[in-house]
Amino acid sequence: MKNLKLSFCIVLVIFSGGCNQPKKDTGKIIHIDNIVDLTHTLTSDFPFIPVRKLTYPFELIPMASLEKNGVEANSWKIHEHLGTHTDAPNHFIKEQKSLDQIELKDLIVPVVVIDIEAKASKNSDAELTLEDINLFEKEYGKIPDHSCVMMYSGWEKHLKDSLFVGLDTNQLPPMLKRRQC
């Protein structure tokens, strides 16, 4: 079996309302000044939090080939928290929206990235704090309303080691210490 690599990505597709020229309404133009690919290649080696009888590694299962079937096709064995993904509010809070209930206009917003890599390199439990946000705003100005605030930890460097999902028992977060496999 050939080694196939897959990546999850977020794709923004904008459909126009026909063949007419766009109106001069600059308030509705989406400016894309900087695109950063936050995805990682999804393979059977991709890290995941092991929960006995619930989680498992990604598996790519060939179904058809160009040679035999005239089309290349695969099945995926995957659970929803594997690889690059978005957690919906109802994942953590009862009676909140699922991903399909979030309006598209609420997903296309300005993004602000706050870098806590220095702090996270010394503390695997580092979190984005109000102090981090205040320091960011002091240096760069107020974060616009209706923005997505993202935190950069630098932990993509640990994708290939046990630190990424906290498999070192000294570094497991309390919620996982209760559910160890």
Residue 151 lies in a domain: yes
Asked if 165 and 79 sit in the same domain, the reply is: no
pLDDT one-digit tens code per residue, 34-81:
777 777 888 888 888 888 889 899 999 999 999 999 999 999 999 888
Q: Which two tokens stand for residue 131?
A: 């102090």
pTM value is 0.60
The total of structural domains in the chain comes to 2
Alpha carbon distance 53, 22 (integer Å): 53
Give the domain extent around 155: 109-181
Among residues 62, 93, 124, the one where a domain terminates is: 93
pLDDT one-digit tens code per residue, 75-110:
999 988 887 778 889 988 999 999 999 998 888 888
Asked if 117 and 157 sit in the same domain, the reply is: yes
Query: By three-state DSSP, how is residue 83 classified?
Result: coil
Among residues 93, 120, 150, the one where a domain terminates is: 93
